[in-house]
Every structure is written in C-alpha cells, then in structure tokens.
Amino acid sequence: MRIVVMTLAAMLVCAQAQAHAQGTAPPTPDSAPPQSPAPQAEMSEVKSKMHSMYEDFRTFKERLPFSLGAGVYLFYYQPLDNTTFSPTDKNGYFQVYAFYLTLDKEVLTRHGAIGGHAEIRMRDGGHIGAGGANQYLRGFFSSNIWFQELYAYYRPTSWLNLKAGKVYRKVGIFWDDSFFGNLQYFDGNKLAPHWGLSLEGQRDFAGGKLGLDYSVQYFYNGSGTNGSLDYGRTLGSPETATSVQAVRDFSPTAEGAVDATGTRMAELKHVIDARVAATLHPAKALYVTAGVSGLNGRVARVWKQGLTMTPATDESQFSQVAGELTVGGTVGPVGWRLLGEYLHQFGPAMRETDYVLAGAKATWRGLAAYVNCSYARYDLAPAIQELIIQPGLTYTIGGGLAVLVEYDEWQRRDPRGVAFPLQAANPSGTTTGFYAIDRSLNVVLAYSY
C-alpha cells in the first residue's frame, strides 16, 4: 500500500511539472514536420511536368512517318439585337466551331519533291439547340467530319507546284484575316475547296524586289464543303418559280442552295480559274501587291416544280473577273496592311453581282487590330444590296494559343419589301430599307499545335 501511494505521488508531481511547462511556452517537437512547398515551387514543378509532356509528345511526333498538326476553335456567339439570325431571342451559344488535324508528308528526289497534305475537320455533333435538327457547319453538309483539303503534289522546282485532289480555289485575295467571314465567303467564293488540279507557284526577281504569284486551276466538280449561307437571303422558291432564270436567281450561292425539303439542289462543275499577282518591294519596310484573276464554271441544278412536283434540271455557265490591291509594311515595331478587291460576277447560272472587299489591319507584338468591310450588289430587278462591317482584335498569347474578339454588323436591303415585323416600323407591314441580318459579338479561343 505504501508503494502504491508513493507511486501516485510521483506521477502527480510529474504531471504538474509538465502542465507548468506547457503553460509558459508551446511544446517544441523533437523534429519539425515537413513544410509544404512554396507556391513558386509548385508552379515550377507544374511547368516542368508540362514541358516534359510537351517534349515527350514532340519526340513521338518526330518518330511518325508524317508531320502532324492539330488545333481547335472554341466559339462563343452572342446576338446583340433581334435580327434575321436571332428573330425572337438573344440567347447566345458556346461550342467547338471546329477541331482539325493536319497530316503532311514530303519526299525529296533528284527530280523534285513529291508529297501530300490532308486537313480533317470535325465538329461536336451532340450539341443541338432547341428547335435544331443538327449541328452541321451548314445545312447542306451531310456530316460533322470532312476533309477541308486533301491533295498530292509534285514540285519539280521551287517556283512550280502541281496539286491533285481537294484544293482551295484561287480567285482574288485569298482571305481578309477575319473569323466571321465576308460576303464572298457566305456566297461560296472564298475558302472554297474543290476537286481537281492546281498548277501554282511563286518566283522572285531583281534580288527579291519583285515577286510573282501565279496559278491555273481546273476543278471537275465542287466539294460541297464551303461557307455558303443563304438563310434569309433567297428569292421566292424553286417550286413556284415561273422561269428557269428565277430558279438560278433563287440563291446567291452555287452549292449552298436547298429546296423546300432541305435537299441540296445545285453543284459546281468544270471550273477553270487563273490568277497572277505581282509584289513590289520599293523599300525594305514597304510592299505593294496588285493582281488580276478570272473564273469560268458551270452550275448543275435539280429541283421539283409546280403542283405536280415535276422534276426539272438545268446546267448553265457563269464567269468572274477580279482585281486586287494590297499595300503593307512596318513603321518601327508596328506592322500595317491595307487591302481592296473588286469582283464582278456575270452569266446566266448565277446572279449578276458586284462584290467589293476592303480592310485595314495593324499589328504590334502579339496584338492585332483590324476592320473589314464587304459589299455586294445583286443586279436583279430591283437590285438587292448587302453590307458587312467587322472590327476585331486578336491577341496571340503564346504556346499556340490566341484569342479573338470580333463584332459583326450585317445589313441587307431589298426594295421588294421584307416581311420582318421585328425590323419594320409598322409591326404588320414590311421594310424596304436596310435591316440587320446579324448584329453580334463573336469570341474565339484558338489553339494550334
């Protein structure tokens, strides 16, 4: 019993001594716990891992028997007013505008270079808005996966290249660097690939002070994968047309027209075009490019007419002539460019049309500011006019990432009168003045590798 009492007394003394020590100072462990890394160290580790993944993927690419590229456009569209494209609401949408893969291969021989190029584009086929039937790029597309370009080539010299396959048409200025597009794009005239042959090249003279671009192309038929868009821009209907010419004038596009059932009704055939452009470098920081081009082709149409829906066909030709001028250069760290183009379209197969394209662009480091204007006058009775104005900003973030913000103002005027109460002063009447087909803000996040 005495031993137990002594033991309890000793434990009490030790406990009091420990409590006193903890009351005067916090306990100090024998070894400090491991500290979490600083935020800078964590970020450095993340960057190191990303760089390692990037190098691993690049090593994988180098082992492939062809060159591989990829990219994606994330697109946000926000209507700013009630227009033809947004007649009852201003709800925007966010989607993958396109994902693409590029494959390239070239073999050098003693007789020149032989190679091939393919660009495959894809869209999200599952995102369908309320009331929509599909999420195709255009209503006349038949798939969300297609070849934008697909050709083999033979380059016997540095100034001549022969391509065979699906190739972009070359008439006038190739592109104005916008995202939304211009009137020629929506009429199927720019960024339009067709199936056929293309002989093209570029050569410098006088020590690089003069350059010459040239091309001659023949396309057996169109591809049906272009930006043609005639929604809200057609006249009458093929089913009730009183003449073949009325069917030809129904749509401003050759390949984008569809009938009342949504069936595609036209195809380009036997297109021949040629272009030549000279570039002068009168000073180191200045260049001037002037060019001319022309095209002739045929449009084959199939439609049903009358109450009996009798099948009807037509094949007729049309032509285009174009003149272009581009002036650009640098002023210190700022780059600049001005462009202008006039194209006249004529022939029974398509609406007789005068197109004008103009644009200005300035660049500084990774920032680009631009404004593009396109105008079309369709020489009908009476004439229809359309105008697109697009100011925009692009910033190249780096690492293949860029962001683009663009405003689109698309106006149309049809003296016949358009039954569009949201745009008319009289809700029960029509408007004969200019009205908005589109008034929107467009934001694009683009990545390419």
In 347-433, beta strands by DSSP E = 353-364, 367-378, 384-398, 401-413
Q: Are 230 and 251 in contact (CB under 8 A)?
A: yes
Task: Work out the average pLDDT over 193-218.
Answer: 97
Task: Work out the average pLDDT over 342-370.
Answer: 98
- What gap in Å lies between CA 301 and CA 53, rounded to an integer? 52
> Residue 422 pLDDT > 80, yes or no?
no
| In the chain, % of residues over pLDDT 90 | 71
Residue 3 counted as domain residue: no
> Residue 14 pLDDT > 60, yes or no?
no
> Residue 252 pLDDT > 90, yes or no?
yes
pLDDT at 168: 98
pLDDT at 297: 98
Residue 129 counted as domain residue: yes
- What gap in Å lies between CA 101 and CA 71, rounded to an integer? 7
pLDDT at 40: 65
Residue 58 counted as domain residue: no
More confident residue, 16 or 132: 132
What is the number of structural domains in the chain?
A: 1
Task: Work out the average pLDDT over 57-68.
Answer: 80
Residue 238 counted as domain residue: yes
CA 59 from centre of chain: 30
Task: Work out the average pLDDT over 329-333.
Answer: 96
Task: Work out the average pLDDT over 89-98.
Answer: 90
HSE of 332, CA atoms in CB hemisphere, 13 A: 1
Q: Output the domain CATH number for residue 383.
A: 2.40.160.10
pLDDT at 4: 41
Whose CA is closest to 385, among 377, 374, 393? 377
Kindly report which listed range (40-49, 236-245, 275-284, 396-405) carries the lowest average pLDDT score: 40-49
pLDDT at 22: 36
> Residue 434 pLDDT > 60, yes or no?
yes
Residue 21 counted as domain residue: no
One-letter amino acid of 257: A
Give the domain extent around 387.
67-448
- pLDDT per residue as tens digits for the range 374-419: 999 999 999 999 999 999 999 999 999 999 999 999 999 999 988 7
Q: How many CB atoms lie within 10 A of CB 274?
A: 17
Place 19 in a pLDDT band, splitting at 50, 70 and 90. very low
Residue 26 counted as domain residue: no
Place 77 in a pLDDT band, splitting at 50, 70 and 90. very high
Q: How many CB atoms lie within 10 A of CB 303?
A: 24
pLDDT, mean over the chain: 88
Kindly report which listed range (40-49, 83-92, 202-211, 413-422) carries the lowest average pLDDT score: 40-49
Place 350 in a pLDDT band, splitting at 50, 70 and 90. very high
- pLDDT per residue as tens digits for the range 109-146: 999 999 999 999 999 876 566 666 667 888 888 899 99
Residue 50 counted as domain residue: no
More confident residue, 65 or 348: 348
pLDDT at 55: 77
Residue 39 counted as domain residue: no
